[in-house]
Chains A and B, each alone.
Chain A
């Protein structure tokens, strides 16, 4: 199993990203996006938030407010693969709750990610399961997004196929 290390970005990489966005409108948002993208575990560790705040001279609380407001930002390490189940009204009526339970069973999380926590990550860091209120793909409901690709009209069989495929994928070097 591939092990991912939990290292915040180095000072130089962070400086580079910050300088790139400095002075632009919404610079905090775009900076945090890129910082998260560059993190091997696709999240914003506390140390990074502190550094961003200091280097950009933006109050800690404001950085934290932005990082917790947008569901795009993760404050916990993310799995190698991300599965997002839509829990919007249309998908719900087409059975997305059952799909969420299926995903939980497939990746081996005890309960679905529909609780108060917005996401669950498996202990081996392979999968993160999240829900979303709506993808805007209601005509093709229920939809499930796996690693950035939206799959439409998903049922248990289709889901199993997708999941088995990515499980077999060779770890990227």
Chain B
């Protein structure tokens, strides 16, 4: 249909909003609470436009265009109102931009600049001063920076169906809060961090471990190992100013070396290990009448979700630890033994696209290596250590690179160290939704049928639909599998199990949209288009790997030969498998 925008006649798609029509016509209407695919609650009033014949200004993000509509995005009235609405938001916003985590990457800051706001016109109206909520191991909330746009509430509710946070109070006392205003660490929050990813300001951020990591790096008595998750190599480049989805594995390794890590290892190696264990676990369950469907257990947000909301179904979870935790346990046992390093001196740092990994690393049961050494070395409880000491997000690693003055774009490409650095393509695709399933199928197929699959690419489980399913032909036996990303979709599959209608043998669940590459610790912005670019890079890396199947990774084979003996064996049981907690 035809509409007029700022006196220009333009074509607009039927059913589109004024905001979208303007965008198509090349006019960007500033907006704040509106976020494509996430939130459209029309609360901020920043995107207002003037429409001929309308009594008041209209919010362009929710108003649909009509034939012949005359829209003015730049009329004095619209511009004045837009500016004032931002100024009103600033009245109750803390003004410590210079020392804010999101300085330089804040939508409110950007908007204030774009709209030319150069004075503080309105006094603070809110009487309460809210304390920071630092109760969570993964996330920090600072309500003083919150502008009540509702994006975090929308992702927590609509995307994840967790509803850990919502609006409470009214008027000046309105706040985003948890039940009874308890700390985020004390309620049923999965730590997924999607709220931090969509927050336009610094009101929700990850709990930083940068200081702890720096301290460890400066300690000459420590051997600091780093492991990097698959999704970090397709995200970190963005945070260093490169195009979305840039694949920078080699530069990332070089950068980590320059930060001072003793060895730069790959979580993908541990992903391969996970697949060997998990593939064998699946076959054991199929052959011995174990609990099916079996569901993957790599995503710590998902683990906490099922523990809180479907505790009766914990038996469906694979007992395999996540790659992050398998890595930590192997590094402080196998690697320590192999290199003759005192495990108490080893500090394992992980770089993850994830905020929930911080929580996972601190789960009390994640101390397999300490338990392993306790008797052998006669360790006291005071000497207790976790398998993974610190977990950084992709964003925190970017901050460390910047602080250290590393010119990321000029770094050479370097290789991971051995023996925990080799990985197959299967380990790489762990970073994408469908990746763990595909990696598992590449191995399980061969384990089950005794011969390699015709092709290693299982295209049926790739894609971006919320739930995907496929029939896998294992030498005549048809196995039904499903892949879900976001916790809302995971819940749908769990409801099927609850109702006894689940047709599946094996299910992969990832907490975040798109899988880890869209994780809560990834660079901001992250949206559907950016996620697709990151996914393309991940599958590209897989394609170019000489080894595509986890059980063919030579370092994995050595690990079993020299240390673990066999999949699901005694050592695996203690170091690589775990149990879950009914949280209700």
Q: Are the C-beta atoms of B127 and A61 separated by less than 8 Å? A: no
Q: Report A54 CB to chain B, min CB distance, Å.
A: 10
Q: Which of B166-174, B292-300, B399-407, B437-445 lies on the face that meets chain A?
A: B166-174
Q: Are A64 and B168 in contact (CB under 8 A)?
A: yes
Given contacts A46-B180, A49-B180, A59-B163, whether A65 and B168 have CB atoms under 8 Å apart is yes
Q: Is the CB of B164 within 8 A of A61?
A: yes
Report the bound CA distance from A59 to B166 in whole Å. 10
Pairwise interchain contact B128-A116, C-beta atoms closer than 8 A: yes
Q: Are A64 and B127 in contact (CB under 8 A)?
A: no
Within B368-408, which residues are at the interface with A (CB < 8 Å)? none
The reply to whether the CB of B187 lies closer than 8 angstroms to some CB of chain A is yes
The reply on B177 being an interface residue by CB < 8 A is yes
Known: A46-B180, A61-B178. A69 touches B166 (CB 8 A): no
Among residues of A, the one whose C-beta sits closest to the C-beta of B165 is: A61
Q: Is B560 an interface residue (CB 8 A)?
A: no
Question: Does B179 make an interface contact (CB < 8 A)?
Answer: yes
A64 and B128 contacting across the interface, CB-CB below 8 Å: no
Query: B187 contacts which of A60, A63, A70 (Cβ < 8 Å)?
Result: A60
Give Cα A68 to B179, complex, Å: 10
1/0 per residue, CB under 8 A from A, across B166-196: the answer is: 1111100100011110000001100000000
In this complex, which of B164, B178, B179 has the most chain A Cβ atoms within 10 angstroms of its Cβ? B179
Contact mask for chain A residues 110-148; partner B; CB cutoff 8 A; 1 contact, 0 none: 000001100000000000000000000000000000000
Given A46-B180, A116-B128, decide whether A61 and B169 contact each other with a Cβ distance below 8 A: no
Instruction: For the complex, give the distance between the alpha carbons of A59 and B179 in Å.
Output: 9
Interface residues of B in 149-170 (CB under 8 A from A): 157, 163-170
Q: How far is the CA of A55 from the CA of B163 in the complex (A)?
A: 17
CB pair B170–A64 under 8 Å, yes or no, is no
Q: With A49-B180, A60-B187, A116-B128 given, is the CB distance from A68 to B163 under 8 Å? A: no
Known contacts A46-B180, A116-B127, A116-B128; decide if A61 and B163 are in contact (CB<8 Å): yes
Q: Which residues of B contact A64 (CB under 8 A)?
A: 166, 168, 177-180
Tell me if B169 and A69 are in contact (CB < 8 A).
yes
Instruction: Tell me the minimal C-beta distance from B311 to chain A in angstroms.
Output: 14
Within 8 A of A (CB), among B106-165: 127-128, 157, 163-165
Interface size on A, residues (CB 8 A): 16
**Interface check A156, CB cutoff 8 A:** no
Minimum CB distance partner of B172 in chain A: A116
Among A61, A69, A70, A115, point to the contact of B179 (Cβ < 8 A). Answer: A61
Distance (whole angstroms) from the CB of B172 to the closest CB of chain A:
9
Q: How far is the CB of A115 from chain B (nearest CB, A)?
A: 8
Residues of B within 8 A of A53 (CB): 179
Contact of A69 among B157, B165, B170, B187 (CB under 8 A): B170
User: Which residues on the A side are within 8 Å of B179 (C-beta)?
Assistant: 49, 53, 60-61, 63-64
Of A64, A69, A116, chain B has the most CB atoms within 10 Å of the CB of A64
Cβ contacts under 8 Å, A115 to chain B: 127
A65 and B180 contacting across the interface, CB-CB below 8 Å: no
A60 to B162, CA, bound (A): 10
Chain A min CB distance to B239 (Å) = 32
Give chain A residues whose Cβ lies under 8 Å from the Cβ of B177.
Answer: 61, 64
| Chain B residues within an 8 Å CB radius of A62 | 163, 166
* A120 smallest CB distance to B (angstroms): 15
Are B170 and A61 in touch, CB under 8 angstroms?
no
CB-CB nearest in chain A for B169? A68
In the bound complex, do residue B168 and residue A68 qualify as a contact, i.e. CB atoms below 8 Å apart? yes
Smallest CB gap from A64: residue in B: B179
Q: How far is the CB of B129 from chain A (nearest CB, A)?
A: 10
CB distance from B119 to the nearest CB of A (A): 28
> 17 interchain pairs (CB within 8 A)?
A49-B179, A60-B179, A60-B187, A61-B164, A61-B165, A61-B166, A61-B177, A61-B178, A61-B179, A62-B166, A64-B166, A64-B179, A64-B180, A68-B168, A68-B169, A69-B169, A116-B128
- Kindly list 15 other residue pairs between chains A and B, CB separation below 8 angstroms, not including A60-B188, A61-B166, A64-B179: A46-B180, A49-B179, A59-B163, A60-B179, A60-B187, A61-B168, A61-B178, A61-B179, A64-B166, A64-B177, A64-B180, A65-B166, A69-B168, A69-B169, A116-B127
The residues of B with any CB-CB pair to A shorter than 8 Å are: 127-128, 157, 163-170, 173, 177-180, 187-188
Which A residues form the contact surface with B (CB < 8 A)? 46, 49, 53, 59-65, 68-71, 115-116
Shortest 3 CB-CB contacts between residues of A and residues of B: A61-B166, A60-B179, A59-B163
